[in-house]
Amino acid sequence: MSEYTEHTDSGASVGRTEKRFFTFAEPPDVLGVESGRTIGPVSVAYETFGTLNADRSNAILLCHALTGDSHAAGYYTREDLKPGWWDIMVGPGKGIDTDRFFVVCSNVIGGCMGTTGPSSLNPATGRPYGLDFPVVTVADMVRVQKALLEHLGVTRLHCVIGGSVGGMQVLEWAVRYPDMVRSAIPLATTTKHSALAIAFNEVARQAIMADPLWNGGDYYGGQAPAHGLSVARMIGHITYLSDQAMRTKFDRRLQDRSDISFNFEADFQVESYLRYQGQKFVDRFDANSFLYLTKAADYYNLEQQHGAGSLVQAFSRAKASFLVVSFTSDWLYPTYQSKAMVKAMKKNSLDVSFCEIAADWGHDAFLLPNPALTRLIRGFLDRVGQDRED
């Protein structure tokens, strides 16, 4: 174990990790995307945890949520203030046990954490792509992930796991590459965005595009549209929480004052919190990437793209065993959407387990410590492994 490894009651940290890069689609063999355009070369930022076994049968692909990245677990340096985004789940002895599994997580195409996106240099111009970057889809993200796995020598996945937009990628994997996916765990996700989800994303995009510094997406080399991106994040963050979470965490408590100010300062704790979250996001994310990734999420429609409008038909392509998980307080992707996909899976006689977990913290519950979720994932991965051995 490395000097960074720490033990907890629920397992050990993977310790120090390293972001790596894989580049493919070098011209003239460029990548064609669903919008009809091409792009190349494409660089993919990724991290791996654990060791691929001799018969290459223990690989797990993690798919991150909307603004996540490849850094799912561990630390880059001793000075890191926090570990990867799912460190509570990924590591030796944890729900996704890296003593047993080889775990891969990559940043999606269109992102800004090392994988080619609108902030990357366009080789044709020597300048950042900006809005010259092609619109990408969840299917494009999955196709790039497949190219990475082939590069790593992985031809069969023990499981694909992801929540939210990562869950959309999980579903796409299961129906696009059914012979490659042994099992799948879509968490807090949906087969298509509701009008409500699209509406929130559109308001967030408009906040960015209304910022004068956005400049039609051509702001690289100058000031970024920080205010617009901050407001966009504030809007998104509201959808990740719940009424119960808001009441418990903030209620109407004032922030650093004994009475209201009668001006437009942040009187309430919730106002201060949202402003803080917005500013913190500006420091790590690209505004154009936010536009592209929310649009990809809005465009996703599994039943239309794979089933001609029928969810049952779409899942007729799948062969994986499924564990579908929803959360009681998730109003962004409510449980009825998970139940709809489970019903369609069962109509295809697929091996599917479903659990709605009681949680007060809204859509983000899948990212927070939850012993029930850890037990579910560990038990499911064990069962799939035993089925394979039998």
User: Residue 31 corresponds to which amino acid?
Assistant: L
Given this model, what pLDDT does residue 78 score?
84
Buried b (16+ CB within 10 A) or exposed e, 7-26: eeeebbbbbbbeeeebebbe
Nearest Cα to Cα of residue 100 among 152, 143, 60: 60
What pLDDT shows up at residue 2? Answer: 35
Instruction: Convert the pLDDT of each residue in 174-201 to its tens digit.
Output: 999 999 999 999 999 999 999 999 999 9
At 270, list the tokens: 């919730």
Q: Convert the chain into a string of H (helix), E (strand) and C (coil).
A: CCCCCCEECCEECCCECCCEEEEECCCCCCEECCCCCEECCEEEEEEEECCCCCCCCCEEEEECCCCCCCCCCCECCCCCCCCCCCCCCEECCCCEECCCCEEEEECCCCCCCCCCCCCCEECCCCEECHHHCCCCCHHHHHHHHHHHHHHCCCCCECEEEEECHHHHHHHHHHHHCCCCECEEEEECCCCECCHHHHHHHHHHHHHHHCCHHHHHHCCCCCCCCHHHHHHHHHHHHHHHCCHHHHHHHCCCCECCCCCCCCCCCCCEHHHHHHHHHHHHHHCCCCHHHHHHHHHHHHHCEHHHHHHCCCHHHHHCCCCCEEEEEEECCCCCCCHHHHHHHHHHHHHCCCCEEEEEECCCCHHHHHHCCCHHHHHHHHHHHHHHHHHHHC
- Copy the structure tokens of residue 378: 């560990």
363 given a catalytic annotation: yes
CA distance linking residue 82 with residue 252, whole number of Å: 29
The predicted model gives 347-359 an average pLDDT of 98
pLDDT given for residue 41 in this prediction: 98
Active site residue 258: no
User: What's the pTM value of the predicted model, to 2 decimals?
Assistant: 0.95
74-112 confidence digits (pLDDT tens) = 999 988 889 999 999 999 999 999 999 999 999 999 999
Residue 9 is predicted with a pLDDT of 44
| 71 is a catalytic site residue | no
Res 10 pLDDT > 90: no
Q: Which of 120, 164, 242, 316 is catalytic?
A: 164
CA-to-CA separations, 111 to 46, 176, 338, 368, 389, in angstroms, rounded: 12, 22, 26, 23, 38
How far apart are alpha carbons 44 and 39 in whole angstroms?
13
275-323 pLDDT, tens digit each: 999 999 999 999 999 999 999 999 999 999 999 999 999 999 999 999 9
pLDDT in tens, 208-267: 999 999 999 999 999 999 999 999 999 999 999 999 999 999 999 999 999 999 999 999
According to the model, what pLDDT value does residue 388 have?
A: 61
Average pLDDT, the chain: 95
Answer yes or no: is pLDDT of 365 > 50: yes
Residue 203 has pLDDT above 50, yes or no: yes
How confident is residue 5, by pLDDT bands cut at 50, 70 and 90? very low
Among 242, 330, 338, 364, the one annotated catalytic: 330
* All domains in the chain, ordered by first residue: 7-193+302-389 (3.40.50.1820), 201-292 (1.10.1740.110)
What angle do helix axes 138-151 and 165-176 make, rounded to 10 degrees?
A: 70
- What is the pLDDT, as a whole number, of residue 389? 57
Q: Among residues 69, 329, 363, 364, which one is catalytic?
A: 363
